[in-house]
Homo-oligomer: A and B are copies of this chain.
Amino acid sequence: MADPTLDIVAMGDAIVDVIANCDDDFIRRHGLPKGSMQLLTPSQADELYAAMGVAREMSGGSAANSMAGIAAMGRSSAFIGQVAEDQLGLIFEHDMHALGVRFDTPPLPMGNGSGPPTGRCLILVTPDGQRTMNTSPGASHELSSEALDRDLIASASILFLEGYLFGPEKPRAAMMEAIKIAHAANRKVAFTLSESVCIAGRKESFGQMIDSGGVDLLFCNQDEAFQLTGRTDLKNALTELSIKVPTLVVTKGAEGAIAIENGERISIPAAPVGEVVDTTGAGDLFAAGFLAARCKGASLERCLWTGAIAAAEVIQHYGARPIADLKELVKL
């Protein structure tokens, strides 16, 4: 088996974030569960967009944000995701390339106006810095197994999969295929959970996937650990999950993070932050930091700390991708 020539390849939503401020009342009036992510139909998205305030647009997507962080920390990365052949798709592609992230999934043609456009995530940021995400996935959920670059996947040390893509059937099948390719090449598979994996139906197929050894490293937050296991006690939830995956990493927001691996269990507090401006991307950058450190062979504790530092940077400004010199901040 050849040595890996790439640190990480990710599969995830290829979407552009549309970020606006709003007050808590706006969130309530529109019946949005604050702090969570909802999928919107195109017409729901148009309606919410019309109601929301002046926005700024920035490339987003959970795993894509992680790859932006990985690149900013000096590791080599690639991204697989589906955009359409439109202006937002060009913006997404440009930003990946500008970061040095390899991204060459062919865009979906828009002929006859029939194909879905590049996905958008309408992100509402309340004065407390919390983000409520409303995704119109568009082309992003059309990612199919045919779009996979098998050699690219086989060339990376780690295949990183985003839970948001586990919901819809087509990209889920593509992810299952990618896992096979990665494992056949003796690579590791990391998976970041999302609430959308934890709902009935998907929960079972995700359970089968981890039971069959599909996931070597699982990232989730506290809430997702509760939802996935159905438990209400963190210790029990973590014990249950840690039996199923070799490495488990659980983030707890302002309370820090925990990792469990080979019987070792390490907790760290959150990295210190000034003002929390926008929590969008916190989990994505945590995963980026952890994985970047892991690629350098760092200790489990060092991996956690690197994740915490990267997450702390991204919540102190608008947008889900790093602005400060992450390489300098994490000094890997």
Residues of A within 8 A of B (CB): 18, 20, 49-50, 52-59, 68, 86-88, 91, 94-95, 97-99, 117-118, 319, 321
- What number of copies of this chain does the assembly contain? 2
Once the chains are docked, how many angstroms separate the CA of A243 from the CA of B65? 57
Contact A54 B49 (CB under 8 A): no
Do B319 and A98 have beta carbons less than 8 Å apart? no
Docked-complex contact A57 and B91, CB < 8 angstroms: yes
- How far apart sit A97 and B52, CA to CA, in the bound complex (Å)? 10
| A95/B54 contact (C-beta < 8 A), A86-B87, A87-B86 known | yes
Say yes or no: A57 contacts B56, CB within 8 Å.
Answer: yes
CB distance from A279 to the nearest CB of B (A): 18
Give 18 A-B pairs besides A50-B97, A56-B58 with Cβ atoms closer than 8 angstroms: A18-B91, A20-B98, A50-B94, A52-B98, A53-B98, A54-B59, A54-B95, A54-B321, A55-B91, A55-B94, A55-B95, A55-B98, A57-B57, A86-B86, A86-B87, A87-B88, A87-B117, A87-B118
B98 touches A56 (CB 8 A): no
> Nearest Cβ distance between residue A240 and chain B, in whole angstroms?
40
Residue of B nearest to A317 (CB): B318
CA distance A52 to B94 in the complex (A): 9
Q: Say which residue of B18, B20, B50, B99 sits within 8 Å of A54 (CB atoms).
A: B99
- Bound-state CA distance A86–B1 (Å) is 48
- A71's nearest neighbour on chain B, judged by CB, is B54
Q: Which chain B residues lie closer than 8 Å to A321 at the CB level?
A: 54
B86 touches A56 (CB 8 A): no
Q: Which residue of B lies closest to A20 (CB)?
A: B98
- A/B interface sample: 8 pairs, CB < 8 A: A20-B98, A49-B94, A54-B95, A55-B94, A56-B57, A57-B91, A87-B87, A87-B88
Bound-state Cα–Cα, A87 to B50, Å: 14
Chain B, Cβ-Cβ closest to A49: B94
When A86-B87, A88-B87 are in contact, do A319 and B94 touch as well, CB less than 8 Å? no
B98 touches A54 (CB 8 A): yes
How far is B45's CA from A273's CA once the two chains are assembled, in angstroms? 39
Residues of B with C-beta under 8 A to A56: 56-58, 319
* Interchain residue pairs A-B with the least CB separation, the first 7: A57-B57, A87-B87, A54-B98, A56-B58, A54-B95, A53-B98, A87-B88
Docked Cα-Cα span, A20 to B53, in Å, equals 23
Q: What separation, in Å, do the CA atoms of A80 and B58 have in the docked complex?
A: 26
| Chain B residues within 8 Å of A20, by CB | 98
A68 CB contacts on chain B under 8 angstroms: 54
C-alpha gap A99/B52 in the complex (Å):
10
Q: Which residues of B contact A53 (CB under 8 A)?
A: 98
A121 to chain B, nearest CB (A): 14
Residues of B within 8 A of A118 (CB): 87
- A86 and B113 CA atoms in complex are apart in Å by 12
A99 cross-chain contacts in B, Cβ below 8 A? 54
- A255-B10 Cα distance, complex, nearest whole Å: 51
Nearest B residue (CB) for A97: B50
Q: How far is the CA of A59 from the CA of B53 in the complex (A)?
A: 12
